[in-house]
Amino acid sequence: MQIRDTRALITGGASGLGLAVAENLIAAGGKVALVDVNDAAGVEAVHKLGPNASFHKTDVTSESDVAATVAAAAAAMGGLTLAVNCAGVGWPKRMVGKEGTMPGEFFRKVIEINLIGTLFVCKEAAAVMQKNAPNAAGERGALVMTASVAAFDGQIGQVAYAASKGGVVGMTLPMARELASSGIRVMTIAPGLFMTPMMAGLPQEARDSLGKQVPFPPRLGEPSEYALLVRQIVENPMLNGETIRLDGAIRMAPR
């Protein structure tokens, strides 16, 4: 697909990885619909990005909210060819800790946001993309999901998070196989240690220490580097049904 023709819905689009994707696509001539729960950040991001961006406040765990937002985003952009799922939480909690066992509701909430929310967005976006006229190569759209290296190297305290991201990895191939007949590709990115708003809240010393754990380059990843991979996924039609680790060769230690 041509990046300049992209009409993208981006969850978690008001900050971090999602905002970086939006900036990259806008600069290339595309249009974006930012989906986020943060009103203030969403409005600020759209003001920064300009007239080719819109903001849609949405709770991705609400099936009806997501369906309405996907329809509204497609209408605002005059179509939908890409959905990028960056909304998620990384809350840590031990399964059995000093405060007792992990509440089932905690586990359930992480799964609802990271895994079920991703499914809601993908299924609604795919339904819209199926109505697109195919390009010369038969493509109608692409879905990009965000997992994490925790799906493979989950650390102590990441039982819920790793389960949710492992679920995203597990959906990738069957989703790609199902949507292949519609000309819709599906890819997942599994980032390592990236400079996200959550990381930005840590002291500089802590960030530097984490960055040094990465073999090369020995630093935290930049959101713009995540956005570059999304762009390559859009432009390279052979990228389909796979999870790509974007991690500088890090393998996380148990703690």
**Are 22 and 49 a contacting pair, CB within 8 Å?**
yes
As a whole number of Å, the end-to-end CA separation of the chain is: 41
Helical segments of 102-251, H only: 104-111, 117-129, 150-153, 159-179, 197-200, 204-211, 223-235
pLDDT one-digit tens code per residue, 172-228: 999 999 999 999 999 999 999 999 887 887 788 888 889 999 999 999 999 999 999
Query: Does the reported pTM lie above 0.85?
Result: yes
The predicted structure's pLDDT at residue 203: 86
Residue-range domains of the chain with CATH: 3-243 (3.40.50.720)
40: confidence class by pLDDT, cuts 50, 70, 90: very high
| Residue-averaged pLDDT of the chain | 96
pLDDT one-digit tens code per residue, 128-146: 999 999 999 999 999 999 9
Q: Which residues pair with 141 in a beta bridge?
A: 184
- The token pair at 227 is 């956005």
pLDDT one-digit tens code per residue, 155-179: 999 999 999 999 999 999 999 999 9
The predicted structure's pLDDT at residue 202: 77
The predicted structure's pLDDT at residue 77: 97
Which of the residues are catalytic? 161
Distance between CA atoms of residues 11 and 15, nearest Å = 10
